[in-house]
Amino acid sequence: MTSSALSAPPPHSDTHATTKASDGEEQALRRAADAGEAAAGWVRGLASRQGEEEHARALERVAEAIVRASSCEILPGSDGLLAEELRYTLAADVVLGASHTVGTRPELHPGELMPLITVCALAAAFPSCVLGNLGTELTALSDELAAATEAGRIATAAGAARACPARRPGTLGSDHADPLDRLAYRSVFDSAAESFEVALHYQGGHGEKARAQALHNALAAAGGGIAAAALLRVADDPALGLDPDQWEHLHLIAAELNLRVVEDLGGANGDGTTDPTQP
């Protein structure tokens, strides 16, 4: 990038005096500032990952430019032009970072590049909203900026997840060192054993048909708990990079399958180091 470090906001060259914003416009201005701060926070995260200090500084300048373009540069009654230094900083060559000096491009995960360009373009357009319906246009751009930022965050999380080492998930009861796993396994086992014995008793306790029916009942009793534990294993695997909504959705499904197992693995029924049936 060819931009220099940002200084204090320069005075605008327009000849129009700024005017006081209406209540609706003030609300839109606050919304724009919040969206800008969130976008800048994501960009600062990109900066913190850079191995080249020049790239890190360039992205830090971009983050600061986003904050200014979405807040103090939006002046009702002005000519709607963004300060020149901010236009350079938020230009499309943000994707090059400091490549003109270090010879490399910024380190970005797949999927981060387009949201970065979009975030910069939207932030640069914010000041021009004063030339139209400020409240409506600024709100629309703020929503798009928030969406672009979220897309960037998802790409960042996915990239971080891909960097996690692969691991083989364990089945319920396989982690003997985890007392909560043992507690949940015991709950599933007891339920299956009880169903097996009850079915065997009512089937007469002998014969191939009786054993088959008892086994069927035991599998039915254990299936929900085993599936619930598997879903929790998946939800908690960092390599998937699930967002909070996805994580919660899997936990809700697991709870519908077997709430007791979810509670056991979460520690709601004790730490698993004591026998809950003993006083």
Could you tell me which residue, 8 or 193, shows the higher pLDDT? 193
**Does 59 have pLDDT greater than 50?**
yes
Residues counted in the chain: 279
Mean pLDDT to the nearest integer, 247-257: 92
CA atoms of 275 and 76, how far apart (whole Å)? 69
**pLDDT of 115 above 50:** yes
Which is nearest to 139 in space by CA: 20, 21, 25, 22? 25
What's the pLDDT band for 166 if we cut at 50, 70, 90? low
Separation CA 275–CA 183 (nearest Å): 9
Residues in contact with 203: Cβ distance below 8 Å, sequence separation at least 6, in sequence order: 209, 210, 213, 214
Asked if residue 22 has pLDDT above 90, the reply is no
Give the model's pLDDT for residue 273. Answer: 67
Cα Rg for the chain, rounded, in angstroms? 29
Q: Is the pLDDT of residue 18 over 90?
A: no
pLDDT > 90 in the chain, percent: 41
Of 32-36, 59-63, 167-171, 233-237, give the lowest mean pLDDT range.
167-171
Chain centroid, CA 132 distance in Å: 34
Helices (H), 49-125: 53-69, 84-89, 99-102, 113-125
Read off the tokens for 30.
């606050």
Provide the whole-model pTM.
0.62
What does the longest C-alpha to C-alpha distance in the chain come to? 98
Mean pLDDT of 84-89: 91
Above 50 in pLDDT, residue 95?
yes
- 172-211 confidence digits (pLDDT tens): 776 666 788 888 888 888 888 888 888 877 777 677 888 8
CA distances to 60, 155, 237, 242 from 150, in Å: 19, 9, 21, 13
- Does residue 196 contact residue 216 with C-beta atoms inside 8 Å? no
User: Which residues have a Cβ under 8 Å from the Cβ of 159 and sit 6 or more positions away?
Assistant: 109, 110, 111, 112
> Does position 2 have pLDDT exceeding 60, yes or no?
no
Closest CA to 261 of 219, 214, 221: 221
Please indicate whether residue 102 or residue 33 has the higher confidence score (pLDDT).
Answer: 33
- Kindly list the distances between the CA atom of residue 137 and the CA atoms of 118, 128, 132, 151, in Å, as whole numbers in the listed order: 17, 9, 7, 21
pLDDT digits (tens, 9 = 90+) for 40-57: 999 999 999 999 999 999
Instruction: pLDDT band for 6, please (50, 70, 90 cuts).
Output: low
